[in-house]
Amino acid sequence: MDKILRIDVGADGGPALREEPVGDYAGIGGRALTSTIVCKEVPADCHPLGPENKLVIAPGLLSGTAAVTSGRLSVGCKSPLTGGIKEANSGGQGAQVLARLGYAAIVLEGEWNGEDLYKVTITKDGATIETANELKMKTNYQLMEKFQETYGSSGAMLSIGTAGEMRLSNSTVAVTDKEGRPTRHAGRGGVGAVMGSKGVKVILLDGAGTSMRQPVDKEAFSDANKRFNEGLKKHAVTGQGLPTYGTNVLTNVLNEAGGYPTYNFKQGNFPDADKISGETQAELEISRGGVSTHGCHRGCSIQCSGTFLDKDGNYVTKQPEYETVWAHGGNCGICDLDAIATLDYLDDDFGLDTIEMGVTIGVAMEAGLLKFGDADGAIKLVKEVGAGTPLGRILGSGAATAARAYGIEKAPVVKGQGMPAYDPRAVKGIGVTYATSPMGADHTAGYAVATNILKVGGDVDPLSSEGQAALSQNLQIATAAVDSTGMCLFIAFAVLDQPETFQALIDIINGCYGLSLTADDVVALGKSVLEKERDFNARAGFTAADDRLPRYFRREQLPPHNVVFDVPDQELDQVFQW
C-alpha cells in the first residue's frame, strides 16, 4: 500500500484522477490515516457538504494480508451529522481488495459541478472514472444487480443508495460482503452524504490478478498470526458466543442487566426481549435454511454474522446485528424478527445507518407520529426516507433533527448522533464514551460494556460512577489503535483478557512491517489519533459543553435500577488529559 488515489471531482474539464506516493502519510492506516488526512487537509470550519470537505477511504495496516480478521475499512470526513470529525468503520471485502490493489487510501475532493453522477473503477492496471447518470436514485441492491459480475468474487463495491445521493445526514457508504451483497456499511455520521456531495455513486474494486500482501518477516508473521487466531478461538466471546449467536447474543445479557434502552430510552428492560434475542434469532435462521455463523469478509476468524431468510426460504438480509435488532426492535417496542429483518434490508438498500434510523423512529414514536410497537408504521417511515418525501428527508437527517422538527426534548443524542443500544445510566462507562468521544455517541469508540457488563478486562460496576472515566479513557485509546490496523474491534475481548493474545497482535504488525513495536507504541498510536481528532473538533468550535449527555439523563431515573447518569463533569473533562 504505497500510493494514494486522489479524485478531484471539480477539476477543469471534468473529474481528474491522480496517483501519488503515500509520502508524509506513510506508516499509518485505517482510522489513523483517515483522521490524519482530514485533520491536515480539511478546514475544520467548512460546511460538511461543501467543496472543502474530503472523503477519505482507507484500509487498515494489516488489510490485504493473511492476518485473521483484518478486513475493516475506515471512511473519514467532516460529519454532516455531528459537525465534527468522523471515522465510520465497515466490514466486507472492500479493505482487503483495496489493500491488495496497492492503495493506502482513496481521497474524494473538490467541488462537484453539474448534475452528472460518476462511477469509479479500480483494477490492477489503475483507475478510471466515467459518467453514469443511469445510476441516479438507484438503491444499493439495484447497483449490486447491475455490477456484481463486474466486481465478481475477487472484488468489491463501495456505493451510496438513495439516501447518500440526496445527501441526508443519516446516510452510509455500503461495502459488499464476500457474497457480493451490499450488507456491510460505514454507517455512522452521514459519510454517504459526503460521497454524494462529490457526485460519486459507486466505486468498483476489481481484485482480479492481485495477490495477498506479503509480510517482511514471513516466519514471525505466520507464527504470530497462528497464536493470535488461537487466542480468539479459546475466548468465550470470540470463540463461542459470537460465532454461535452473532452479535445479537447481547440482547438477553443487556436486558437482564437492566441496561437495554426501551421505548426511546424510557426503561432498561424490554418485556419481549426473548422474542428478538440472539438465541431465538439463530434458531429461526437455521430452521428456515439460513446460517447463524458467517464471516462478512474472507479471513474472518470470529464469524459473527449470518443469513436471514423469510418463512419461504427466500433471502431477506444478512443476520441483523445486535444494534439493529435493538434500534428497530426494543427501542421502538417491536418484537417481530421478520419486521426487523425487513427494516434492516431497507436500511441497507437505501443506505441508512440502522442505529440512527431506529433511534429516529423512536423519537418519532415519542412525538406521537406513530405508536410504539407499530412495525408496519416503522417500515412505511423508512420507505419515506428512501423515496425522499418531505417527511422522509426530516427523518433521514437523524434523531436530533427529528426531535427539533417535532418539538420534543427527549432525543438520545450526543454531538447530534444517536445513542446505541446501551443506556448510559445503567452502563455508565459507555455513558462516558458517548459523552466524550470525538465521534459523538458511539459505543465502538470505547466499548466499556466489555468491562461493565461482560467483565472482560476487569470488573467495573456499571451502576457506579467510580472508575468509569478511566475505563473509557483506556478503551478509547486502545480502540483508536485497533481501528488503525484494520482489525475487527471484536478482537478486543480476547486481547483484553489474554496478554499473550495482545502480544501476538503486536507481533503480527512487527512481522508484517519488520518493526519492533511494543505495547507502549500501540498506546502512543491511539493517543495520537485521538489528539488529532480532538484538535479538529476544537477548531470546528466544539468545547467541553459538547462532551455531555443530554440533561434529562441526569434528571430522569431509569427503571429497573432507578439510576441516573452521575459521572461528574470534571471527570468527563479529564478523559483526554494524559
**DSSP3 helix / strand / coil % (the chain, rounded to 5):** 45, 15, 40
pLDDT of residue 128: 97
Q: How many residues does the structure list for the chain?
A: 578
Separation CA 62–CA 482 (nearest Å): 10
Amino acid in the structure at residue 499: P
Residue 100 to residues 64, 151, 262, 305, 309, Cα–Cα distance (Å)? 5, 14, 43, 24, 33
Mean pLDDT by 10 residues, the chain (578 residues): 95 94 96 98 98 98 96 98 98 97 98 93 97 98 96 94 98 96 97 98 96 96 97 94 93 98 98 97 95 87 92 96 98 98 98 98 98 98 98 98 97 98 98 98 97 96 98 97 94 94 97 96 97 98 98 98 98 97
Copy the grid coordinates of residue 505: 497482535
Would you give the DSSP letter of residue 217?
S
Dump strand ranges (E) for 141-218: 156-159, 173-175, 184-186, 200-205
Nearest CA among 49, 491, 465 for reference residue 230: 491
pLDDT of residue 153: 84
Residue 502 — φ and ψ, nearest 5°?
Answer: -60, -45
pLDDT of residue 559: 98
Would you give the DSSP letter of residue 179?
T
> How many CB atoms are closer than 10 A to CB 11?
15
Per DSSP, the three-state class of 305 is: strand
Query: Using H for helix, E for strand and C for coil, what is the string for 49-114?
Result: CCCCCCEEEEECCCCCCCCCCCCCEEEEEECCCCCCEEEEEECCCHHHHHHHCCEEEEEEECCCCC
Cβ pair 108, 200 in contact under 8 A: yes
Q: Identify any residues that bridge with 130 across adjacent strands, giving them in sequence order.
A: 119
Cβ pair 324, 159 in contact under 8 A: no
Cβ pair 223, 510 in contact under 8 A: no
Would you give the DSSP letter of residue 132?
-
Annotated domain spans of the chain: 3-205, 224-350+414-572
Please tell me the CATH superfamily of domain 3-205, with its number: Aldehyde ferredoxin oxidoreductase, N-terminal domain (3.60.9.10)
What fold characterizes domain 224-350+414-572? 1.10.599
> How many CB atoms are closer than 10 A to CB 121?
18
Q: Identify any residues that bridge with 86 across adjacent strands, giving them in sequence order.
A: 77
Residues 6+ apart with CB under 8 A from 125: none
Cβ pair 33, 98 in contact under 8 A: no
Residues 6+ apart with CB under 8 A from 551: none
pTM score of the predicted model: 0.97
pLDDT of residue 4: 98
